[in-house]
Amino acid sequence: MRVVVIGSGIVGAGAAYYLSGRGASVTVVDSHRPGAATRAGAGIVCPWVDHPEDDDWYRLTREGARHYPGLVEELGEDIGYAKVGALLVAEDPVDLEPVRALLRRRHPAAPEMGDVVDVDTPSELFPPLSDELSAILVPGAARVEGSAVRDALLRAAVRQGAEVRTGTATLAPDGQVLIRPKHGEPPLREIVHEPREGGEAVESTAAAGGRPAAVGPQDSWRQAAPLAPAATAPAATTEAPSYTGEGRPIDADMVIVAAGAWTGEVCRPLGVELPVFPRRGQILHATLEGVDTAWWPIILPRLGPYLLGFPDSRVVVGATVEDVGFAPRVTMGGLEEVIEAGLRVAPGLFGATVAETRVGLRPVYAPGPALIGPLTGRVVVATGLSAYGLTAGPYTGEIAAALALGEEPPIDITPYAPATV
């Protein structure tokens, strides 16, 4: 079976890993679009606090989180995964009651969240925190480094025989894949990124326009829950032409489209208009020189930004939630929002060094929780993981791989089936 995977974010890399592990002949193609979500993602894996009324979303993210410990063992390398726990914090302790009740309800079927406890002095666990906060600790929550997971999956896939190429993939109306080299680059087999210090590329340029249309929290504990696009939201996809016939064909029996926010554009030549749109997130990495932040818990306020620690004295503060179309830019307004709210929760970060800013486009599927399923007899689509792709991405890749190989996926995928407009 020859399978082409379009997109090497965490979903496509996961698909390539599972496909090649089952003996398929795999080619992964990525055009390295600015704004790819995986390298910008914060890395929170804490599914139990969100989607109280949406079992389909919850099932996917819960299973995605459950999948990690086994994956970490299989990959056998450091992907930044650590069960550091999550502190849910609120100025008024009453605000913690709904999430406490939700966790109590979910605990019997998800004991991996650990025993939830009150924390009297949260700043003992995360020193920069404000002293004014009440908190409960979810010990089973983990953090992970998105780009490290993706790179480890791709490296493992290559060891299993997969080929990784740089280029822009387009689909012909019959599902045939054509690859155009990126401008100035030969479409050669690419050396998969070696592990490296720090994070990845940033888009950092001056902003245009006014304050973005931030999307506030709804029913989930943390923000960036998958909401329908705002009335003022921009067009769901780019206006790329449908099909030009340009590019070098590659043979494939099956194709997996895991092109994140660009999935609608990639699938358009098939005659479908998928309502997948980008939701921008701007995020900040700061360092506290000489401080060991590696085991600090994730801080999840009800409102405002989250914070989490990584090795190398790094603290991540994020993120904005903006429906502004394909505009992967770090803006003055976005940074102001993140910094201002971050310092309110954690005033001890006032003197921290701003090390890096990142921006990514979360792929959001407007009608449903995620978009996973066959689109045609030859094309499987896997995207729409919104703010939960680092949690559910590798698992979604495994589901997509099973679908491409004609195997039974590990969960019922009916709720995620494509609905085209």
Binding residues (CB under 6 A) for ligand FAD: these are: 6-12, 29-33, 36-38, 40-44, 146, 168-169, 258-262, 266, 281, 283, 318-319, 360, 362-363, 383, 385-391, 393
The per-residue DSSP string of 235-302 comes to -SS----S----SEEE--SEEEE--GGGHHHHHGGGT----EEEEEEEEEEEE-TT---TTPPEEEES
Q: What's 35's DSSP letter? A: T
Complex with ligand FAD: residue 7 or 114, whichever CB lies closer: 7
Complex with ligand FAD: residue 15 or 352, whichever CB lies closer: 15
Backbone angles phi, psi at 85, to 5 degrees: 85, 160
Residue 342 tokens, joined: 């971050």
Complex with ligand FAD: residue 21 or 35, whichever CB lies closer: 35
Complex with ligand FAD: residue 21 or 281, whichever CB lies closer: 281
Complex with ligand FAD: residue 184 or 351, whichever CB lies closer: 184
- Is the four-CA dihedral 224, 123, 343, 358 of positive or negative sign? negative
Give min distance, CB of 246 to ligand FAD, in A: 12
* Distance, C-alpha 61 to centroid of its chain: 11
Give min distance, CB of 414 to ligand FAD, in A: 20
Complex with ligand FAD: residue 132 or 411, whichever CB lies closer: 411
- How many CB atoms neighbour CB 102 within 10 A? 18
Give min distance, CB of 50 to ligand FAD, in A: 10
Residue 141 tokens, joined: 């929550």
Do residues 353 and 298 make contact, with C-beta atoms less than 8 angstroms apart?
A: no
Complex with ligand FAD: residue 38 or 287, whichever CB lies closer: 38
* Distance, C-alpha 381 to centroid of its chain: 16
Give min distance, CB of 45 to ligand FAD, in A: 6
- How many CB atoms neighbour CB 244 within 10 A? 11
Give min distance, CB of 10 to ligand FAD, in A: 5
Residue with tokens 């407009």: 421
Complex with ligand FAD: residue 261 or 401, whichever CB lies closer: 261
Residue type for position 202: V
Give min distance, CB of 290 to ligand FAD, in A: 26
Complex with ligand FAD: residue 93 or 173, whichever CB lies closer: 173
- Count the alpha carbons within 13 Å of 200 in the hemisphere toward its beta carbon: 23
Do residues 153 and 13 make contact, with C-beta atoms less than 8 angstroms apart?
A: yes
Give min distance, CB of 49 to ligand FAD, in A: 12
Complex with ligand FAD: residue 40 or 250, whichever CB lies closer: 40
CA–CA gap between residue 70 and residue 75 (Å, rounded) = 9
Residue with tokens 């326009």: 209
Give min distance, CB of 391 to ligand FAD, in A: 3
Helices (H), 22-145: 55-75, 97-106
Three-state DSSP class for residue 365: strand
Strands 2-6 and 254-257: parallel
Give min distance, CB of 131 to ligand FAD, in A: 26
Residue 286 tokens, joined: 């700061």
Give min distance, CB of 221 to ligand FAD, in A: 13
Of 52, 361, 419, 365, the C-alpha closest to 228 is 365
- How many CB atoms neighbour CB 205 within 10 A? 11
Q: Which residue is nearest to ligand FAD (CB)?
A: 389
